[in-house]
Amino acid sequence: MRALHFFEENQRVLDQVEALEGDDFDIFLNLVNESGNSSRKWLRNCFIVKNPSEKRISLALALTEKYLKSRGEEDACRVHGGGFAGTILVFMPFDIREDYIRLIENVYGAKSVTV
């Protein structure tokens, strides 16, 4: 499964560069989401190996996806730095970030979001 992710991810990176060079941010965001879905499903990088019942990253992704969808925004989020409990990377319009930060800090505590 790691090999499947690796080879697909290498192509996705090239496609992301092309999308950004072509000024097509929507395609870039779709590719970010595809990358995150691959990490989540194929690498299963959303938990701590020593504690697979830990769901902090999965919960953060679920809350983020739900929030962004409720706002009807073009968005992307993904696990980032997985395998070590990781963090998530979120792309969203600047004007909704304060509401999002409040949402996440209510769950994970103050200063749990870095802009």
Q: Report yes or no on 31 lying in a domain.
A: yes
Give the three-class secondary structure for 12: helix
What pLDDT does residue 57 have?
85
In the chain, the number of structural domains is 1
Residue 114 lies in a domain: no
Is 11 a domain residue?
A: yes
Domain that holds residue 9: 2-108
Residue 41 lies in a domain: yes
The number of angstroms, rounded, from the C-alpha of 12 to the middle of its chain's C-alpha atoms is: 15
**Domain-located, residue 26:** yes
| pLDDT tens string 42-59 | 877 777 777 777 788 889
Q: What is the pTM of this model?
A: 0.83
**Residue listed under structure tokens 């690796």:** 6
Strand partners, 106: none
H-run or E-run covering 60 = helix 56-71
Compute how many other C-beta atoms are within 10 angstroms of the C-beta atom of residue 14. 10
Instruction: Give the CATH number for residue 95.
Output: 3.30.70.890
Q: Is residue 113 part of a domain?
A: no
Q: pLDDT tens, 48-88?
A: 777 777 788 889 999 999 999 898 876 888 887 655 557 88
